[in-house]
Structure 1
């Protein structure tokens, strides 16, 4: 019983999801899956926000952007950055280019958030409410950094499930356990660095 309670507590902490409300912008942290940008496009088409800001150059663990992980036949451009890839996903899903802002320097989540803040400030956008589209098990860490970059903003989290890992099934597969354990490790490590810098 205690073990099941422990698993439930992990699920409640790592996986975040909020009801969608009308917002000022949709954030898409850099990644190599198209599904997060596809979901952002769906939300845009529903009128959830007037702007989408994809962010990213390439992962800090890689020397260059290595292309999409999924749906390569649909998104087959010669992308140099995560931003170029995510922009193409958005455009191919009927988001007009003028609604897409640009951040193509970030290489990890904290930079996605901080550099996105610079973009919105440079564009003189007031962000009272934002939607954050990211991978299901990345939601807590992404929320932590975007909330730090936008302390005055209400951030609504929209999880996406490109690899099928959810709060209900992560403990059932080696891949799910690995991803969630990795998120816990990164959260603790990055939070400790963050607190030391205060």
Structure 2
């Protein structure tokens, strides 16, 4: 039996259940509250930009940095760079140019945090509270990375408020999303040992789902040594 999700690849109910366990784990579900600044983490998903714009318009922060260069999953979609396209989207939707800062060089999450912090400092901003806006399945890794790279700041993580099935439909590529779910979890497990993030407990059922998806071939985003 397969799910009724319309994507470029149908997934079985078993695979969907395993993916949903990992999806739920990745979301830290922080209470959204006003912050001194925000960082929109570049990706293939324009929903990150739209969520950041919505939160600015709701008065959640006064200044926003869009951060990100390019990666294999974004180069074709955002040829001028993730942050550049995200910023253009924000200005098209009415955000003042002066409050949308640009960090166009970051190639990973640690750089997103570190380089954006530098951009804010150069603008004379030293925030005590920072909102990180990411893809839904990147909340936990964003949090773990920020706690390591910017321990002085209080971090609030959030993302586009979509449930798993709705997100799959919005992206239109189940394989890409499941590969990314698995890849992000590998980084949550491995990066603390390399000094890139703080440790995060991973429940046994989430680890079992992770191994099952790898065995099912959802492994293109794994880092191999």
TM-score with structure 2 setting the length:
0.67
| Structure 2 unpaired stretches of 5+ | 1-17, 169-173, 197-225
Deviations 1:21-40, CA, capped at 9 Å, x for gaps: 11111111111221111111
Are residues 1:45 and 2:57 paired?
Answer: yes
Q: Select 1:65's aligned residue among 72, 75, 84.
A: 75
Identify the residue that residue 83 of structure 2 maps to in structure 1.
Answer: 83
Q: Does the aligned pair in 2 maintain the 1:16–1:159 contact within 8 Å?
A: no
Q: Match of 1:102, SS?
A: strand
Shift of 1:148: 2.2
> 1 CA distance for matches of 2:69 and 2:95?
21
The 5-angstrom pairing of residues 1-198 of structure 1 reads 13-59=25-71, 61=72, 65-68=75-78, 79-160=79-160, 165=164, 177-194=178-195
Shift of 1:9: 7.8
> 1 CA distance for matches of 2:104 and 2:186?
26
> 1 CA distance for matches of 2:70 and 2:155?
24
> 2 CA distance for matches of 1:8 and 1:33?
19
Shift of 1:147: 2.4
Q: Does the aligned pair in 2 maintain the 1:83–1:102 contact within 8 Å?
A: yes
| Structure 1 unpaired stretches of 5+ | 1-5, 69-78
Q: Does the aligned pair in 2 maintain the 1:56–1:112 contact within 8 Å?
A: yes
Q: Does the aligned pair in 2 maintain the 1:41–1:95 contact within 8 Å?
A: yes
Gap change, CA 1:117 and 1:149, over 3 Å in 2: farther
Gap change, CA 1:9 and 1:114, over 3 Å in 2: same
Shift of 1:43: 0.9
TM-align CA RMSD: 2.7
Q: Does the aligned pair in 2 maintain the 1:24–1:51 contact within 8 Å?
A: yes
Deviations 1:2-54, CA, capped at 9 Å, x for gaps: xxxx9998566421121221111111111122111111111111111110100
TM-score with structure 1 setting the length:
0.75
Shift of 1:161: 5.5
- Bigger Cα displacement from structure 2, 102-111 vs 147-156: 147-156
Q: Does the aligned pair in 2 maintain the 1:138–1:183 contact within 8 Å?
A: yes
Gap change, CA 1:34 and 1:10, over 3 Å in 2: closer
